[in-house]
Amino acid sequence: MAEIDLCPCGSGKSYAECCEAVIKGTRLAASPEELMRSRYTAYAKHEIKWLKDSLEASQRSDFDEPSVEAWSRESEWLGIEIKQTKTEESKNIGWVEFIARFKQGNITRNHHELGEFHKVGGAWYFYDGRGVKQETVKKATPDVGRNDPCPCGSGLKYKKCCGK
């Protein structure tokens, strides 16, 4: 039995049933999220032409095809996680926050971005993206020094009680 070629976008569908038609231009992406998934898949499948064609026309002059192709081929694509999407159909604009995981050499990386998409002539295009900063982890409790009273209420110094 032939092995199913699962789509790299993580939909669980085969590539032929999912992103292939969008990448090959036989079907328009129905939403900014679907376009983003097809762009991730294009990196994984080395479909560099689609990466350029899916850019809004005003953004194509900066597209560095040799660099994009090198990045695509030198990376192992591990998956995409869509964090959130928002679409304002009346304004023909949408946003997709995502994390693309890939491996370069022995290093696994997470690319966390908020992508902006514009609908032009009935088709969605990627306009621009900006990195999303990781949130600072805030402690729920104050720091306890070694010589401070133990917060458990024992009356002992922290270093002699729970800080052992």
Residue of 75, 83, 3, 82 lying closest to 38 (CA atoms): 82
Q: Name the residue with higher pLDDT: 145 or 49.
A: 49
- pLDDT of res. 3: 62
User: What does the DSSP 8-state code read for residue 137?
Assistant: P
Whether 129 is covered by a domain: the verdict is yes
Specify if 114 maps to a domain: yes
Average the pLDDT over each of 76-80, 119-123, 154-158 and give the range with the smallest value. 154-158
- Distance, in Å, from the CA atom of 155 to the CA atom of 52, rounded to the nearest integer, reads 67
Predicted pLDDT at 146: 75
Domain that holds residue 113: 20-134
Number of domains in the chain: 1
Tell me how far apart the alpha carbons of residues 97 and 116 are, in angstroms, rounded to a whole number: 9
Establish if 1 belongs to a structural domain.
no
Task: Give the CATH number, domain containing residue 99.
Answer: 3.10.450.50
User: What is the token pair recorded at 147?
Assistant: 């010589």
Residue 101 inside a domain? The answer is yes
Does residue 158 lie within any of the structural domains?
A: no
In a domain, 15, yes or no: no
Residue 162: predicted pLDDT: 81
d(CA 158, CA 164): 8
pTM attached to this predicted model: 0.79
pLDDT, one tens digit per residue, over 13-67 is: 999 999 999 999 999 999 999 999 999 999 999 999 999 999 999 999 999 999 9
Q: Is residue 51 part of a domain?
A: yes
- Report if residue 151 sits inside a domain: no
